[in-house]
Chains A and B, each alone.
Chain A
């Protein structure tokens, strides 16, 4: 299933229209969602997150690029997404990469000002934020 689709990541021909690119985004989203059970298994994420949470995370990552209307740019972003997904599914990453990037960061967005970061300068705060993982 998903793993078979991910075995050969190659550059697909350019999308002819915005509509085609849009469909490819949904196809990519489905592929990513279908590989989530194996991702949970590989990185043993059952105690930190759930499949539905990761699914929402993928959707919000896609939603960050809703302003893009150029099919070529969408194709490029899709390729990057595919590449990332392949790396995740192939276990080219480690558990803390996944947790840092897709579990903690999503929860932490918006509540950066909590706890022990209180007394530090804005510069240092931005530095920590930018170098999260």
Chain B
């Protein structure tokens, strides 16, 4: 079981190109047991946002809006999303990435993502 999980995880990370083709197959994997908890996702998302050089760490809360509340511009927004991709080892499609503009949306997206690690 552990071996299978490892192999699947390895596979999911290397085959990043067309994730759609893998979807039905992936739902049979045993990722549920090592899936991230919501609290962990919140904690790690906040840590990434606080690490961002232009952000004042004391103003970061789980429902902060990147551009309205933290005074960032659209490029900073993309940069944060890329930092989140790196942190959770994901590749967020461009259309989804454009929609993520607040901590809340980021947490929601990542905690619903089956491959977040």
Nearest-Cβ distance from residue A39 to partner chain B, whole angstroms = 13
Max chain B Cβ within 10 angstroms of own Cβ: one of A27, A29, A33: A33
Neighbour of A55 across the interface among B16, B82, B97, B98, CB < 8 A: B82
For the complex, count residues of A whose C-beta is within 8 A of B.
18
Residues of B within 8 A of A51 (CB): 86
Q: Are B75 and A4 in contact (CB under 8 A)?
A: no
A25 to B113, CA, bound (A): 26
Question: Residues 10-48 of chain B: 1 if any A CB is under 8 Å from the residue's CB, otherwise 0?
Answer: 000000110000000000000000000000000000000
Q: Are A52 and B78 in contact (CB under 8 A)?
A: no
Q: Are B17 and A4 in contact (CB under 8 A)?
A: yes
A29 to B79, CA, bound (A): 8
A54 to B93, CA, bound (A): 21
Residues of A within 8 A of B105 (CB): none
Question: Residues 103-125 of chain A: 1 if any B CB is under 8 Å from the residue's CB, otherwise 0?
Answer: 00000000000000000000000
Question: Residues 32-60 of chain A: 1 if any B CB is under 8 Å from the residue's CB, otherwise 0?
Answer: 01100100000000000001100110010
Q: Which residue of A lies closest to B16 (CB)?
A: A1
Neighbour of B75 across the interface among A1, A27, A52, A62, CB < 8 A: A62
Neighbour of B82 across the interface among A22, A25, A30, CB < 8 A: A30
Q: Is B74 an interface residue (CB 8 A)?
A: yes
Question: Residues 68-82 of chain A: 1 if any B CB is under 8 Å from the residue's CB, otherwise 0?
Answer: 000000000000000
Nearest-Cβ distance from residue A6 to partner chain B, whole angstroms = 14
Q: Which residue of A lies closest to B82 (CB)?
A: A33
Residues of A within 8 A of B75 (CB): 25-26, 29, 59, 62-63
- Given A1-B91, A51-B86, answer yes or no on A30-B78 (Cβ-Cβ < 8 Å): yes
Q: Are B94 and A27 in contact (CB under 8 A)?
A: yes
A29 to B53, CA, bound (A): 18
Max chain A Cβ within 10 angstroms of own Cβ: one of B17, B82, B83: B82
Interface residues of B in 59-117 (CB under 8 A from A): 74-76, 78-79, 82-83, 85-86, 91, 94, 97-98
Nearest-Cβ distance from residue A23 to partner chain B, whole angstroms = 8
Nearest-Cβ distance from residue A133 to partner chain B, whole angstroms = 25
Residues of A within 8 A of B79 (CB): 29, 33, 55-56, 59
Q: Which residue of B lies closest to A52 (CB)?
A: B83
Interface residues of A (CB under 8 A from B): 1, 4, 22, 25-27, 29-30, 33-34, 37, 51-52, 55-56, 59, 62-63
